[in-house]
Amino acid sequence: MTDEPLPEPRALELTTERLVLRSPHEAMAPLLASYLEYNRTHFAVSSAYFETPVTLEWCRAALIADARAFEAQSAVRLYFFEKGASAGPIVGNLAFTNIVRGVFQACHLGYRIDQRYEGKGLMHEALVEALRYAFEVLELHRVMANYRPTNERSGRLLKRLGFLVEGYARDYLFLDGAWRDHILTSLVAPGVVTPPHA
């Protein structure tokens, strides 16, 4: 036994013109609580349930789970901040989840931005860099993103990023109290990704 502190979990930081995208850390819990609480109604149409009211304990547990998933590379969640404002607030977040390797090399993508920062091109900016990371560093072949037909902002964003519509799923996710139809889209890596052990 030594008294040496445990190593900090691996951290990731990506930068864009206006933003810094960071991997989760439990120290972000107070910022996450304010972000989720302030945007409760804004996020409700597209997000899974989060606790009412959002407590610090709940946020800390969520961030620790996110950090473990990042270590295991089963999901990569990034929280973003304005450049020069690393103490907060959280501007938005995105997540590559359900990362499957082998012959699929694919994942799902989710994202949301604080309503005060909507309509400035910030989510597009964050996603351009995050998708570069997903294809070049995570070596994924396909990123799938799905949105409700009423979520026109999300549809425009995905189209601008080059996502193609692949289908329509009835009663796809249980959101905001009911099963909701979704438009299914995906973006394939610009280069050829060869799965490991292929």
Tell me, what DSSP letter sits at residue 26?
Answer: G
**Binding residues for ligand COA restricted to 92-121, rule: CB under 6 A:** 111-113, 118-121
Among 50, 59, 51, residue whose Cα is nearest residue 79: 59
Q: Enter the tokens of residue 127.
A: 């996603």
In the bound state with ligand COA, the residue whose beta carbon lies nearer, of 63 and 113, is 113
CA geometry: angle 28, 91, 190, nearest 5 deg: 105
- The answer to whether 40 contacts ligand COA (rule: CB under 6 A) is no
What is the smallest separation between the CB atom of 10 and ligand COA, expressed in angstroms? Answer: 27
Q: Does 123 bind ligand COA (CB under 6 A)?
A: yes
- In the bound state with ligand COA, the residue whose beta carbon lies nearer, of 10 and 120, is 120
Transcribe 108-174 into DSSP letters.
EEEEEE-GGGTTSSHHHHHHHHHHHHHHHTS--SEEEEEE-TT-HHHHHHHHHHT-EEEEEEEEEEE
Q: Which stretch binds ligand COA (CB under 6 A): 52-60, 97-105, 132-140, 153-161?
A: 153-161
The yes or no reply on residue 18 touching ligand COA (CB under 6 A) is no
Q: Which of residues 76-95 bind ligand COA (CB under 6 A)?
A: none
Question: With binding defined as CB under 6 A, does residue 124 bind ligand COA?
Answer: yes
- Maximum CA extent, the chain: 57
Q: Phi first, then psi: give them for residue 190, nearest 5 degrees.
A: -65, -30
Kindly list the residues in this chain that would bind ligand COA in the complex (CB under 6 A): 42-43, 46, 111-113, 118-124, 147, 151, 153-154, 156-157
